[in-house]
Amino acid sequence: MARNGNRTLVPEAKAALEKFKMEAASEVGVPLNNGYNGDLTSRQAGSIGGQMVKKMVEKFENEIKNTAK
């Protein structure tokens, strides 16, 4: 049985995730459009995901620092 690993666990967060993805793409200079983006290279797509992870880690680290005070 095939599983879809790209489903949103919290459907209410879908719009926020799309906005976050667009912001990350803008920050790394990748032209991302709404809808189909099959013309992106693997490097471009990976840089978007990497930027998203980097921002999430930074946010988590800042929350830990603020909690530890």
This prediction has a pTM of: 0.78
pLDDT of 8 higher than 80: no
Q: CB count, 10 Å around CB of 24?
A: 21
pLDDT digits (tens, 9 = 90+) for 16-65: 999 999 999 999 999 999 889 999 999 999 999 999 999 999 999 999 99
State how far the Cα of 40 lies from the Cα of 22, in Å rounded to an integer: 14
pLDDT confidence tier of residue 3, bands split at 50, 70 and 90: low
pLDDT value of position 38 = 92
State how far the Cα of 50 lies from the Cα of 42, in Å rounded to an integer: 12
Q: Where are the domains of the chain?
A: 11-68
